[in-house]
Every structure is written in structure tokens, then in C-alpha cells.
Amino acid sequence: MNHESYIVREGLPFILISLTITFIFAVFELFWLTIFFSLVTIFVVAFFRNPQRESPQDEGSVVSPADGKIIKIDNVTESGLIRGEFMMISIFMNVFNVHVNRIPCAGKIWAIDYKEGKFLRADLDKASIHNERNYLVIRTGRNEEIMFVQIAGLIARRIVCWVKTGMAVKKGERFGLIRFGSRVDIYLPHGIDIQVELGQKVRAGETVLGVRK
């Protein structure tokens, strides 16, 4: 399925509903409600925007899977889909960020594991274990395993994932989105030099998070 349209198809129902409500209020000449829902429509269109991005295609770099701000960089030990010591980078997306997520490095989708959960604020630490989330693991040509996790937020109620286990993927390729505010965590193996810092704003598919030594 092609996901390169400027507005992702998952946003079309929300846009049509907002446009319909705006039109009804305009017909009945309810000025302030028309203005309000016009602004809502603009916001919804902007939320589901899907801009083109140019990703660095060198083999050594790993790019951000999400737009937003880095809220955590930490050494962690994992014993689930991936095992060992990793550097976890958390990226918080507010409602004004682009919410289309992108593949951080080339490889093959090794595992996908969706978990139902709560809808706590995505910037809280416990959101990574309690919220609705979707785990994806890529195995690279260097036999590395890199995991990234889509985490639903306070407003979000739907994680969308377009890839399947076994698919070969390219760096910067779109793989899904999360509706209305969320977070993405990425787990990088040791041997990758981190190139970002806390509080830094990043762009999916473009900002380099780390470079292989």
C-alpha cells in the first residue's frame, strides 16, 4: 500500500467529519461555531500531514523514527523481544508534530508485538510499560537488533502499523502513526555513538540519533 500522499488516509474520516460539522454550522449561519470548527478542521488536516523527507542512506547512521523532543536517554537492560544492554532514547510527540513514524535503519522486520494498555501521559516513564504500545524489532545486515516502540498517549487511542513481520524495510520508510499525541522509544545496541541530547528536537527520517563506531 502506498503511504506517500500528503495526508495519510487514516486521517480522512476525521477530516470529513470536521468539514461536515463546519458546513452544517455555516448553513445555519452560526458564526462562532463555524469559525471554531473551521479551526478544528485546519488542526486535523495539519495533524495528519505526511511530508516528504530525505533520509541519509549511509549504512552507519540510525535516524529518528519520530518527530518531537527527546525526553530521555538512558542505559537499559532488556530481556524480552531483545536481550542485553541498550541505550534507550525516548521521543515525545505533541499534537503539533508530524505523527507519521519512519524506519530508523535498513533491515528486516524481525518481530512485532502489540500490547493493549492505558492512556497515561506519554511523557511519563510508566507510559512505556502501562500504555497501549506496539513493539517492532529490526534485524540489520550486521546482525544487530534494533527495537522501537510506538506508545499511545493521553489523547491517542489508536496505534497504526503498516509493516509486517518478515518485510524488508529501508531507512526513512514510513511504517505507521499514532493518533493525537504520543511517544516513540528506540533501543540502540552498544557500539552506536549517540549523536543527540536531552531536550533536542528531532525529525523522523532525517535527524541522526546515532552512528556506528
Spell out the residues 6+ positions from residue 83 whose beta carbon is closer than 8 angstroms to its own. Answer: none
CA-CA distance, 46 to 69, in Å (whole number)?
Answer: 18
What is the crossing angle of helices 12-27 and 31-47, to 10°?
170
**Do 140 and 103 contact (CB within 8 A), yes or no?**
no
**157 to each of 2, 102, 124, 132, 153, how far by Cα in Å?**
23, 20, 17, 8, 8
Handedness of CA 153, 66, 3, 61 (dihedral sign): negative
CA distances from 5 to 2, 10, 49, 50 (A): 8, 11, 9, 7
φ, ψ at 82 (rounded to 5°): -120, 155
- Rounded to whole angstroms, the Cα distance separating 37 from 18 reads 7
Choosing from 55, 64, 128, 182, which is the catalytic residue? 182
Question: Measured over all CA atoms, what is the biggest interatomic distance in the chain, rounded to whole angstroms?
Answer: 64
The amino acid sitting at 175 is F
Active site residue 182: yes
Catalytic residues: 182
